[in-house]
């Protein structure tokens, strides 16, 4: 029997659920304070993970949880980009 590969888990900042990294979208704030969606999960900076689900993204926008996690204002286009990401990769 081969060794079972460990699946990297990440915690959704909205639901607090631990899920496989591939089921999440990473939002990152770099040193300059720019916030962007990080589909590769490899950009450097402070990251927050959100479940790939429209309801979760709506909830994140309403509650301002990303603003708290990344300690910066989140532009509306970030939420729009997240919604597009979920629609195209559903």
Model confidence over 11-30: pLDDT tens digits?
999 999 999 999 999 999 99
**Taking 90 as the threshold, does the pLDDT of residue 58 lie above it?**
yes
Residue-range domains of the chain with CATH? 9-88 (3.30.1230.10)
Over residues 81-89, the mean pLDDT reads 85
Average pLDDT of the chain, as a whole number: 92
| Residue 51 vs residues 2, 3, 24, 70, 86: alpha-carbon distances, Å | 30, 28, 5, 16, 9
Predicted confidence at residue 89, as pLDDT, reads: 66
What is the model's pTM?
0.88
């Amino acid at each position: 029997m081969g060794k079972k590969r460990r699946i990297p888990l990440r915690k959704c900042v909205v639901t607090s659920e631990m899920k496989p990294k591939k089921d999440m979208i990473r939002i990152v704030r770099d040193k300059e304070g720019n916030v962007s969606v990080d589909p590769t999960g490899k950009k450097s900076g402070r990251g927050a993970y959100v479940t790939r689900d429209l309801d979760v993204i709506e909830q994140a926008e309403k509650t301002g949880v990303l603003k708290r996690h990344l300690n910066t204002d989140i532009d509306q286009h970030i939420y729009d980009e997240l919604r597009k990401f979920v629609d195209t990769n559903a």
